């Protein structure tokens, strides 16, 4: 496990091919309860998607960024980052996995199957450059296995059982030993990840594939996990949005 402070000294020379960031941003984010797609909600004067794309496109070692958008997206072109020469777009799909697949096909077509794909949630707008660099450094040592940012589980975990009409009840307490909460970015060979996602696209098994790493795990790979050192939660609800805004404001005030 690599938990050492990250340096910014990362270049493509550590890999045998280009590094492309992939950002699926075609969803609506229904849990936010807003008519505006979640990725276009604002914190500190910028949309979540603008924050996220800016972070990855300016990260040392990343060659280009591919953003998967909804076919009827009318907000993207208003973002400053939409005009960045290293940022490309594709039409996403109905699910996050479909959008990642569309972006990976673009990457493989432009840069080849061996290109490294760093897949990142549009709604993780607080991810630090240093954590992304730490992940890239770790994956550079094991590029065929890939890796992801994660944090150890800290809260007590309960397995629940549903007993209608009484609702959810505790079935048992689950040990936290060796349990980690997966985050993004997650980084793999573009061709390998594309094959894994397509292989596991069957409706009967797709529910078990909840992130890129789980698709790779099913193919026999063991991704490395790098502990993120800064807030990296996925902004899902209005409370998350407020917390993220407060964090950015506090960070700006400390600089």
pLDDT at 13 (0 to 100) = 46
**pLDDT tens digit string along 163-195?**
777 788 899 999 999 999 999 999 999 999 999
In sequence order, what DSSP letters do the residues of 124-154 get, joined into one string?
-TT--HHHHHHHHHHHHHSTTT-EEEEEE--
Q: For residue 76, how far is the Cα from the chain centroid?
A: 19
pLDDT at 208 (0 to 100) = 76
**pLDDT tens digit string along 48-78?**
999 999 999 999 999 999 999 999 999 999 9
Task: Quote the tokens at residue 177.
Answer: 């030993």
Task: Quote the tokens at residue 27.
Answer: 């969803």
* This prediction's pTM: 0.90
Helical H runs in 142-232?
190-199, 212-218
**How far, in Å, CA of 62 to CA of 11, rounded?**
8
What is the CATH code for 12-150+181-254?
A: 3.90.550.10
CA distances to 6, 79, 201, 209, 222 from 216, in Å: 25, 33, 13, 9, 8
pLDDT at 131 (0 to 100) = 97
pLDDT tens for the chain, 255 residues long, are 443 434 445 555 478 889 999 999 998 765 555 678 999 999 999 999 999 999 999 999 999 999 999 999 999 999 999 999 999 999 999 999 999 999 999 999 999 999 999 999 999 999 999 999 999 999 999 999 999 999 999 999 999 987 777 788 899 999 999 999 999 999 999 999 999 999 988 755 566 789 999 999 999 999 999 999 999 999 999 999 999 999 998 887 776
Task: Quote the tokens at residue 36.
Answer: 């505006």
Torsion of CA 100, 103, 105, 109, to 10 degrees: -160
Q: Exposure string (b/e) for 87-121, b if CB count within 10 Å is 16 or more?
A: bebbebbeebbbbbbbbbebbbeebebbbbbbbbb
C-alpha triplet 240, 246, 247: angle, nearest 5°: 90
**How far, in Å, CA of 192 to CA of 200, rounded?**
12
pLDDT at 204 (0 to 100) = 53
């Amino acid at each position: 496990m690599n938990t050492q402070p990250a340096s910014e000294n990362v270049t493509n020379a550590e890999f045998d091919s280009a590094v492309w960031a992939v950002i699926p941003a075609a969803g609506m984010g229904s849990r936010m309860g807003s008519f505006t797609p979640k990725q276009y909600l604002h914190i500190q004067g910028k949309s979540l998607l603008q924050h996220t794309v800016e972070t990855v496109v300016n990260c040392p070692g990343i060659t280009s960024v591919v953003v998967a958008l909804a076919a009827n997206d009318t907000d993207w072109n208003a973002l400053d980052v939409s005009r960045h020469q290293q940022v490309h777009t594709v039409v996403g799909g109905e699910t996050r996995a479909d959008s990642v697949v569309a972006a990976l096909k673009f990457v493989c077509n432009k840069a080849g199957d061996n290109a490294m794909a760093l897949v990142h949630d549009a709604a993780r707008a607080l991810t630090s450059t240093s954590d992304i660099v730490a992940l890239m450094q770790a994956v550079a040592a094991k590029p065929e296995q890939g890796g992801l940012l994660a944090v150890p589980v800290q809260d007590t975990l309960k397995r629940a059982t549903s007993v209608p009409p009484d609702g959810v009840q505790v079935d048992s307490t689950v040990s936290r030993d060796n349990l980690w909460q997966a985050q993004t970015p997650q980084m793999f060979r573009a061709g390998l990840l594309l094959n894994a996602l397509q292989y596991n696209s069957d409706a009967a098994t797709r529910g078990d594939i909840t992130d890129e790493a789980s698709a790779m795990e099913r193919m026999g790979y063991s991704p490395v996990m790098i502990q993120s050192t800064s807030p990296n939660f996925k902004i899902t609800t209005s409370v998350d949005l407020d917390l993220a805004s407060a964090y950015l404001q506090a960070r700006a005030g400390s600089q």
